Structure 1
Amino acid sequence: MDTTNDGQRFTALYQRHYTDIEGYVRRRVHPSQVNDVVAEVFVVAWRRLDDLPGDGVLPWLYGVARRTLANAYRSEQRRGRLLEALAAQPDVPAGDHANDVTSRLAVMTAFSQLSSDHQEALRLTLWENLSARDASRASGCSVATFQVRLHRARKKLRKAINTPINDESAGDAVGRNAPRTDWDGTGVQH
């Protein structure tokens, strides 16, 4: 591929047919879309420079423009359907998040008071979703030891935050949705 020759051929093609293609597109789309569609037509022409017909290049470019416009129309229709679907969604009030923040802070504070073994037991089961068997391997202890450790960790966490927590809510507060920073109070992410 001779890029100098190709560049000159493309430049000549662009200069000769830009106004025609731009007018063709301008009559069919919103003015804000004209430059994008015309640019796409000439990108296709550049990519297919070796496939251009010797004569009748302008009709070929019109064909490319027609297909590019069809793609733009389909995209616009999808966009319109998406906007309609979003507009049809019911408005859900956001509510006050202060209670959620307070609860999370209480859990984070309680979590930071646990021993590192208990913290790790909770992390392995809640963040990493490991079974007791896999978590025990990761911790380097027996399954029974790990299960006892996990039971104690949950019990101490419940006591530290002084509210009953079932395993699912502990998972949300200490687990995947909680920020993973500053669990030990040092300000350093672990």
Structure 2
Amino acid sequence: MRHEQFTVMFRVHYPLVLAFVSRRTDAARAHDVVADTFTTAWRHFDRLPAEPLPWLYRVARNCLANELRADRRQARVAEKIAGHGLEPEPDHALSVIADTGLRQALQRLSPADREALLLIGWEGLDHDAAATVLGCSAVTFKVRVHRARRRLTRLLAAADRDEKPAPAVLPSPAPAHRKARSA
């Protein structure tokens, strides 16, 4: 019975969890993270909530964070050995956002603000489910989203002010006495 229930849960949620992770990392790593996520789900299957998707997102997010921490440790060791710095890796989730202004504004937000907004806007989670993913209360998450939206709005407004084209300078009309001479 447990095996069949897990199989059904896996088939329903695997594509969603893979999409969630794929927006945050490369394809090879995404498959590894999703495999780890469902391995954890199997081990804790008896304790899964009725709606497991937010729980799976949280486990996937934690697995990805663990892998990224391990990569950073490995990069620091390699940096020490090589004796020079490394360029930071860009956030994969932002590379698929079409609007350049929005992408730039999202990049300026803190990772916590960006994650809160993407869980709501990109993943389509409600506040309760997103709070579960982040491991906080729904009230705390609502405050985070409110503040993140306010910061994003300010950044977008600032970008609009900076990108407005300068007013066109039209040539002043020639004085009437010059028009008469050239005619």
Same fold by TM-score greater than 0.5: no
Task: Give 1 or 2 for the bigger CA radius of gyration.
Answer: 1
TM-score normalized by structure 2? Answer: 0.44
TM-score normalized by structure 1? Answer: 0.43
